[in-house]
Amino acid sequence: SPWKAVLLLLSPPAFSTSCALCAKDRRLRQKRAISERQLTRYFVDQRKVRVVGGQGGDGGHSFHSEPRKVFGGPDGGNGGDGGHVIFKADQQMKSLSSVLRFYQGFHGERGGSKNCYGANGAHMYVKVPVGTLVKEDGEVVADLTQHGEEYIAAHGGAGGRGNRFFLSNENRAPKFFTPGEPGQERVLHLELKTTAHAGLVGFPNAGKSSLLRAISRAKPAVAAYPFTTLNPHVGIVHYQDYEQVAVADIPGLIQGAHQNRGLGMAFLKHIERCRFLLYVLDLSVPQPWSQLQDLKYELEAYEKGLSERPCVVVGNKVDLAQSRINLALLREQVAERVIAVSALTGDNLEELLLHLRELYDTFVKTEQSQGQSPVKW
């Protein structure tokens, strides 16, 4: 009726998104700023883990009996198998800090009567970051480089046999059964190597963290003293065609880093996963080309062929007066392409992003030509 239509128009809606009291606050909460010193407690790239598989359930021991069938024979079922301990690579995990020191799979249940088998123990899944190496006695036993990849760290024990299993013509009423086997026990060493497409390599205070903040949404700590970055950071560079390039900020290296000086080999290993390198040089220091020579020497001394990967030289701090003089000298001394930028003012970042995309496209074509699937973010 027309009166009902009028009442429906005049009555307020049950839920109004325009009302300040009813509408949800959809604003994203601002992430709490974590300093680099606080971040060292959360970022862990090595962990020693003891894993034990679940114990198998014991076999059942029973004899079937019902009216008019007193001697029904043995009917004890087998016990359930113990659960495995499985490492599973998860792209959401960025550190080994949440990995505990000990894991054990769930035990299998005991076999029941009436030939009922015991339930298998549930598997224990341990989430680890992508790029985790699993070592045992110094040897690599697994390399989890893909999201969702799994590795059985400890197998569960097999369930025991019930007395029904031992029934034979010679023994029509077996009374014995077997207990469940214990699970496998191992001590494994987990080592995280950051997986990224590009790696920022340079000496302390070269401006790597500032550059990563300028080209991505990552927020590494920035300060005027050396060794500000104590942990690797990964920033994602977004392009208009929805391609994403991961850039890792490796902590600063010094001369003798391959001999474990400074931050040493603890962070040289993170460069191994990078497909191409960005050498960040400070143009304001005298003879910046000597930094490039020292960096390549440290990488080559750590792993042969590491310095020969596709690369580009990024001359940072071009906004300073002395840097413009050194830029011309740097281009005469090095054979690689030199891109002069300023992470502080944002000068010439477009050229760097375009060349970064060229390196990424070349990497994708190379991986596809070899029948491999390139790492996607």
Tens of pLDDT, residues 241-267 = 888 888 888 776 655 544 444 444 556
Residue 334 confidence (pLDDT) above 90: no
Span 29-35, average pLDDT: 48
Domain end point (choices 140, 159, 193): 193
User: At residue 362, what is the residue type?
Assistant: T
What is the DSSP secondary-structure string of 171-219?
-SS-----PPPPPPEEEEEEEE----SEEEEE-TTSSHHHHHHHHSS--
Same domain, yes or no: 159 and 254:
no
Provide the 3-class DSSP secondary structure of residue 244: strand
Tokens of 175: 């009374």
Which is nearest to 116 in space by CA: 158, 62, 169, 66?
62
For 227-237, the pLDDT digits (tens) are 555 567 778 88
Q: Based on the fold, state whether residues 220 and 284 are members of the same structural domain.
A: yes
Report the number of distinct structural domains present in the chain.
2
> Is residue 130, in this structure, part of any structural domain at all?
yes
pTM of the model: 0.67
| Residue 352: domain span | 198-368
Do 108 and 156 reside in the same domain of the chain?
yes
pLDDT band at 36 (very low <50, low <70, confident <90, very high): very low
We report the CATH number of the domain holding residue 298 as 3.40.50.300
126 and 210 in one domain? no
Mean pLDDT of the chain: 79
Instruction: Read off the pLDDT band of 122 (50, 70, 90).
Output: very high
CA dihedral 278, 284, 286, 289 (to 10 degrees): 20
